Structure 1
Amino acid sequence: MRLDRHALIGHLRDQEEKAVLAKILDNVENVLKNHRPLLTNFYDPYHTGLIISMLERIPELDFATSGGYTMAERVRTAIFPDYLEEDAVDYEMVLLAVEGNFKMVKVTHRDFLGSLLGLGIKREMVGDLIVTDTGCQVVAVKEVAPYLMANLTKVHRVRVDVREIRPEELVLPEVKVKEISTTVASLRLDAVAAAGFGTSRSRIAREILAEKLNLNWHTCSNLSAPVQPGDILSLRGRGRVEVAEVKGSTKSGRIGIVVRRFL
């Protein structure tokens, strides 16, 4: 089966997105030719959505995703012939614990990620990072595990040890959600973000223009970008907000919305 690449990805304007999907299409052609499952690397929900939308348009294929645990954000997509079952797929990922004495040093997700990338590990080789009291738990492709265990020795000047762990050892964060019903002047990004994060519109505008806010996992510096139900807004250092519902206009002309803020 010959794939019509132009029909599948020719409409994309973003060259980075097109490059990602072109690489996935290489995998698809190998699956169709050799009748063997193949895996993508780890991608965020935005790119995973692009991948799935494309795969749904290709007959004779099936796919599934996994990020190492149920609520994972970054996942690998398994692509396989439609006569195979997902149970036959090995996602080839490993769970690692990066442990050290962090009682006197405050470290963040960014510190751990920076240490990994500083070793030359590509971001797409690593899934979610779960920060714990003793360090961080990492989901990664299996092939990089030996390298990480041998070479990741420090995070933010703290010595660390890296070991493989079992799925039942994962310390999953407790998800706390605050639901907020409010009104906004419009469904512009700056208005909705200000309401969701509980700050002024002028302050959130500075954050957006400084490229500190992501809309659906993509940096967005357009203050007037439209927001709709289901959109995810994440602000560096402030967490994440989901637009749950748009209720309609009030008598004063404002728009009622419901947002969920993940604490």
Structure 2
Amino acid sequence: MIDLKEILINSNYKKETGELINIANLAFKHWETYWTGFNSTYICEEILKEFENLNDFKFFVYGGFSSAQRSRIACFREDNFADKKSLISNFPAKGIKINGNFLFDNATQDDFRSLLIGNGVSETKVGDIWTIGDRGAQGIIDDLDIEYLNEKFFYLRDVKVKFSVVGLDELQIPTGRSKKLINTVEASTRLDSIASAGFRISRTKIIERIENGMLRLNGNKVNKPNINLKIGDKLQLENKGFIEILNLEITKRERWKVKLLRK
């Protein structure tokens, strides 16, 4: 069995790390594959660094499609090999379609996520959610205890919506983004400045998104645009992917040369 206290002592994500330790113990005992709940893909990758020296286990991060921003971690014994194709085909999740007319009442990814949570789906059972124009949203949720949602009607503010539980192959999966290096020069290392340059969104709009809690810094929601960033920081913006800060360098004119990786 794994020593929980030893692994948790230096973890920045104790709850998520504790969950992974628990399923690793189950995988070791029962010789089966177990999955965590959904978390930010960034957090999944970060907590796995704590498990690099556990040679008895293998792990796999997946969220239903290759560029998912929220994922689950599969854990299985090293001597109970599970190949990638099998893990994907047996991924424990379903699709959810949320259909409604939002032409005159725009809704965000977080609005639809809150709607699911408000109707009995815990946060760790909800994967990616993405909007489908003004017709609602689609997403990925844990496949357990969700049939009560199927073909039911709910309200998001004043808009009546219908939930439909479907197979993952019935979803309109968002187009994956290829990795892209971005070089820019900014007046500061402030969150709003670098996020605006990296996500190609105006400063005003990025500040609005930050203040509304739509941007995550290193997996955590932030609502202050004046936070100074550092090399290695990762930003995640709803429906816009990830940005990682690769380099920051002050110039002779006291501006900042910034190198970013967007994916």
Same fold (TM over 0.5): yes
Match of 2:220 among 213, 218, 221: 218
In structure 2, what is the equivalent of residue 78 of structure 1?
A: 74
In structure 2, what is the equivalent of residue 105 of structure 1?
A: 105
Q: Which shows bigger deviation, 191-200 or 158-167?
A: 191-200
Displacement of 1:67:
1.1
Sort the Cα spacing of 1:170 and 1:181 in 2 relative to 1 into closer, same or farther, 3 A.
same
In structure 2, what is the equivalent of residue 36 of structure 1?
A: 32
In structure 2, what is the equivalent of residue 231 of structure 1?
A: 234
Q: Please say if residues 230 and 245 of structure 2, whose CA atoms lie closer than 8 Å, have aligned partners that are also in contact.
A: no
Gap runs ≥5 in structure 1: none
Gap runs ≥5 in structure 2: none
Q: Distance in 2 between matches of 1:60 and 1:230?
A: 31
Q: Distance in 2 between matches of 1:207 and 1:150?
A: 32
Q: Please say if residues 181 and 259 of structure 1, whose CA atoms lie closer than 8 Å, have aligned partners that are also in contact.
A: yes
Q: Deviations over 1:143-194 (max 9, x none)?
A: 1330221555333333333223344432233567997643235545465346
Which residue identity does 2:57 align to in structure 1? Answer: L
Sort the Cα spacing of 1:104 and 1:250 in 2 relative to 1 into closer, same or farther, 3 A.
closer
- 1:67 and 2:68 are equivalent in the alignment: no
SS in 1 for 2:116: helix
- 1:48 and 2:44 are equivalent in the alignment: yes
Q: Which shows bigger deviation, 79-88 or 35-44?
A: 79-88
Question: Rg larger in 1 or in 2?
Answer: 1
In structure 1, what is the equivalent of residue 256 of structure 2?
A: 255
- 1:117 and 2:88 are equivalent in the alignment: no
Q: Distance in 1 between matches of 2:212 and 2:97?
A: 33
TM-score, structure 2 as length reference:
0.78
Q: Distance in 2 between matches of 1:141 and 1:241?
A: 23
Displacement of 1:142:
0.7
Q: Which shows bigger deviation, 206-215 or 22-31?
A: 206-215
Which residue identity does 2:172 align to in structure 1? Answer: V
In structure 2, what is the equivalent of residue 183 of structure 1?
A: 185
Which residue identity does 1:199 align to in structure 2? Answer: R
Q: Distance in 2 between matches of 1:161 and 1:211?
A: 26
Amino-acid identity (%)? 23
In structure 2, what is the equivalent of residue 192 of structure 1?
A: 194
Q: Distance in 2 between matches of 1:212 and 1:95?
A: 23
Q: Deviations over 1:29-50 (max 9, x none)?
A: 1111111111111111232123
In structure 1, what is the equivalent of residue 173 of structure 2?
A: 172
Sort the Cα spacing of 1:166 and 1:210 in 2 relative to 1 into closer, same or farther, 3 A.
closer
Displacement of 1:24:
1.9
Displacement of 1:114:
1.9
Displacement of 1:258:
3.6
Q: Deviations over 1:195-227 (max 9, x none)?
A: 555438xx95x9878866531221345945432
Q: Please say if residues 66 and 176 of structure 2, whose CA atoms lie closer than 8 Å, have aligned partners that are also in contact.
A: no
Q: Distance in 1 between matches of 2:68 and 2:148?
A: 23
- 1:4 and 2:8 are equivalent in the alignment: no
In structure 2, what is the equivalent of residue 153 of structure 1?
A: 154
Which residue identity does 1:172 align to in structure 2? Answer: I
TM-score, structure 1 as length reference:
0.78
Q: Distance in 1 between matches of 2:142 and 2:212?
A: 33
Sort the Cα spacing of 1:101 and 1:207 in 2 relative to 1 into closer, same or farther, 3 A.
closer
